[in-house]
């Protein structure tokens, strides 16, 4: 068994692993070029008996403060052998050497394997958000305009969240399967790609949404995050997001949103053939290497 840095010649092996991940809808092969071009990414593969059986990435974010553990993949024939744990140890060793302040990872509530690894590292849960993914959603006719929704700037979005810290557990925001510290810099960064909206009523915004059009498997997907203070504002801004997705000619919607609101099981058109879950983010501060064995 050997863990080494990823090489471009490993791409075919990674694609083979991805064929059996997320039901064959793994986005990783489509993100590989971006990962390799990112100077803050540390990509690794595991070799076992002369073949590549696992892949993982450490992405250093938040201005060098956070080591984001992501894209853990193990070939389906070699699962349940402890390879994911061995790869995770390699990532946290790298994070320790790089001097990051903490490590984080995200998974879904149903992913018991990753949650066990998080516990073994000694991580603690820092936030939860609901999520749903809906492909072929064009049959949704549900519409809610009870609260006006208007466009806003990334700076206004940042001010909204800083004014309502209860919405963002431990100062961390979520977008597109990632979690970042809430800073002006991160909103400035995503402001080039994202659009921003807020509800308007009684002179105060009660919900915020931001989203962008991303290409997934050569098809457009609308990805958004919603933070809401009350139910009417949540459903109005969610309705606006679904309409925006149609306007953007997206073929699917991926939405992360605040607890305790419901979307996937309550809205007509989202009740069937919709993947819904809870996103869970875990964190551990230094030192990382005193992990549970």
CATH number for position 26: 3.40.630.30
- Domain endpoint, select from 49, 84, 100: 100
Is the pLDDT at 292 greater than 70, yes or no?
no
What's the pLDDT score for residue 262?
Answer: 84
| Tens digits of residue pLDDT in 118-153 | 999 999 999 999 999 988 766 678 899 999 999 999
pLDDT band at 198 (very low <50, low <70, confident <90, very high): very high
Is the pLDDT at 8 greater than 50, yes or no?
yes
Q: Are residues 91 and 189 in the same domain?
A: no
Q: Are residues 87 and 150 in the same domain?
A: no
In a domain, 33, yes or no: yes
Tokens of 290: 């005193």
- pLDDT, mean over the chain: 91
Cβ-Cβ contacts under 8 Å for 136 (sequence gap 6 or more): 251, 252, 273
Q: Are residues 251 and 139 in the same domain?
A: yes
Q: Are residues 171 and 241 in the same domain?
A: yes
Q: Are residues 50 and 139 in the same domain?
A: no
In a domain, 183, yes or no: yes
Q: Are residues 142 and 244 in the same domain?
A: yes
Angle, nearest 10°, between helix axes 11-18 and 28-37? 140
Tokens of 217: 């498997």
In a domain, 187, yes or no: yes
| Tens digits of residue pLDDT in 43-54 | 999 999 999 999
pLDDT band at 291 (very low <50, low <70, confident <90, very high): very low
Which residue in 285, 258, 266 sits closest to 128, CA to CA?
258
Q: Are residues 87 and 34 in the same domain?
A: yes
What's the pLDDT score for residue 247?
Answer: 92
In a domain, 75, yes or no: yes
Give buried/exposed letters for 128-166 (b at 16+ CB in 10 A, else e).
ebbbbbbbebeebeeebeebebeebebebbbbbbeeeee
- Give the domain range for residue 48: 2-100
Q: Are residues 146 and 269 in the same domain?
A: yes
In a domain, 109, yes or no: no
Q: Are residues 79 and 178 in the same domain?
A: no
Q: Are residues 171 and 220 in the same domain?
A: yes
Q: Which of 162-176, 181-195, 277-291 has the lowest mean pLDDT?
A: 277-291
Q: Are residues 234 and 173 in the same domain?
A: yes
In a domain, 110, yes or no: no
Tokens of 87: 């790869």
| Tens digits of residue pLDDT in 262-289 | 887 788 878 778 889 999 999 999 988 7
In a domain, 113, yes or no: no
Q: Are residues 181 and 70 in the same domain?
A: no
Cβ-Cβ contacts under 8 Å for 112 (sequence gap 6 or more): none
In a domain, 119, yes or no: no
Domain count, the chain: 2
pTM of the model: 0.92
What's the pLDDT score for residue 290?
Answer: 64
């Amino acid at each position: 068994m050997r863990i080494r840095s990823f090489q471009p010649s490993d791409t075919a092996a990674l694609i083979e692993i991805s064929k059996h991940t997320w039901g064959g809808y793994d986005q990783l092969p489509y993100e590989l070029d971006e990962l390799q071009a990112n100077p803050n990414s540390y990509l690794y593969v595991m070799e076992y008996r002369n073949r590549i059986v696992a892949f993982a990435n450490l992405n250093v974010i938040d201005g060098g403060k956070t080591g984001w553990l992501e894209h853990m993949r193990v070939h389906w024939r070699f699962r349940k052998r402890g390879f994911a744990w061995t790869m995770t140890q390699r990532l946290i060793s790298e994070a320790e050497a790089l001097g990051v302040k903490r490590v984080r990872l995200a998974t879904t509530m149903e992913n018991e394997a990753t949650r066990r690894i998080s516990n073994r590292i000694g991580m603690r849960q820092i936030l939860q958000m609901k999520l749903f993914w809906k492909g072929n959603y064009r049959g949704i006719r549900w519409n809610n305009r009870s609260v006006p929704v208007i466009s806003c700037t990334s700076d206004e979005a940042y001010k909204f969240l800083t004014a309502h810290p209860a919405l963002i557990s431990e100062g961390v925001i979520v977008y597109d399967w990632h979690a970042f510290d809430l800073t002006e810099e991160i909103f400035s960064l995503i402001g080039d790609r994202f659009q921003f909206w807020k509800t308007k009523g009684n002179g105060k915004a009660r919900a915020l949404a931001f989203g962008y059009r991303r290409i997934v498997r050569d098809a457009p997907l609308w990805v958004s995050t919603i933070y809401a203070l009350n139910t009417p504002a949540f459903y109005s801004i969610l309705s606006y997001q679904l309409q925006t997705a149609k306007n953007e000619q997206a073929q699917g919607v991926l939405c992360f949103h605040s607890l305790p609101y419901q979307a996937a099981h309550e809205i007509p058109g989202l009740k069937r053939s919709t993947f819904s879950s809870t996103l869970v983010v875990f964190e551990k501060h230094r030192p990382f290497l005193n992990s549970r064995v």
